[in-house]
Chains A and B, each alone.
Chain A
Amino acid sequence: GAVVSQHPSRVICKSGTSVKIECRSLDFQATTMFWYRQFPKQSLMLMATSNEGSKATYEQGVEKDKFLINHASLTLSTLTVTSAHPEDSSFYICSASEGEGYEQYFGPGTRLTVT
Chain B
Amino acid sequence: GEDVEQSLFLSVREGDSSVINCTYTDSSSTYLYWYKQEPGAGLQLLTYIFSNMDMKQDQRLTVLLNKKDKHLSLRIADTQTGDSAIYFCAETGGTSYGKLTFGQGTILTVHP
Residues of A within 8 A of B (CB): 4, 6, 32, 34, 42-44, 46, 49, 93, 95, 97, 100-109, 111
| B94 nearest CB across to chain A (Å) | 13
| A40 nearest CB across to chain B (Å) | 11
- Of B10-18, B41-49, B74-82, the stretch lying at the interface with chain A is B41-49
Residues of B within 8 A of A108 (CB): 41-42
Q: Which range contains the number of B residues in contact with the other chain?
A: 20 to 34
Which B-chain residue is minimally distant from A60 (CB atoms)? Answer: B1
User: Cβ of A106 and Cβ of B98 under 8 Å apart?
Assistant: no
Closest 10 CB pairs of A and B: A101-B98, A106-B43, A106-B42, A108-B42, A43-B102, A109-B42, A102-B31, A43-B104, A44-B102, A107-B42
- Quick one: given A43-B103, A46-B99, A49-B99, are A93 and B30 in contact (CB under 8 Å)? no
User: Cβ of B88 and Cβ of A97 under 8 Å apart?
Assistant: no
Q: Which of B33, B40, B88, B92 contacts A109, CB < 8 Å?
A: B40
Q: Which of B35, B48, B98 contacts A32, CB < 8 Å?
A: B98
Tell me the number of A-to-B contacts counted with CB atoms below 8 Å: 52
Which B-chain residue is minimally distant from A10 (CB atoms)? Answer: B40
Q: Which of A34, A49, A105, A107 contacts B45, CB < 8 Å?
A: A105
Q: Give the residues from 44 to 64 in chain B that come closer than 8 angstroms, CB to CB, to chain A.
A: 44-45, 48
Q: How far is the CA of A46 from the CA of B1 in the complex (A)?
A: 14
| B61 nearest CB across to chain A (Å) | 16
| A12 nearest CB across to chain B (Å) | 15
Residues of A within 8 A of B45 (CB): 103-106
Q: How far is the CA of A20 from the CA of B99 in the complex (A)?
A: 23
Q: How far is the CA of A46 from the CA of B99 in the complex (A)?
A: 8
Q: How far is the CA of A100 from the CA of B35 in the complex (A)?
A: 19
Q: How far is the CA of A105 from the CA of B104 in the complex (A)?
A: 19
Q: How far is the CA of A100 from the CA of B98 in the complex (A)?
A: 8
Q: Give the residues from 21 to 48 in chain B that come closer than 8 angstroms, CB to CB, to chain A.
A: 30-31, 33, 35, 40-45, 48
Residues of B within 8 A of A100 (CB): 98
5 A/B residue pairs, CB under 8 Å, sorted by A = A44-B43, A46-B100, A104-B33, A104-B98, A106-B45
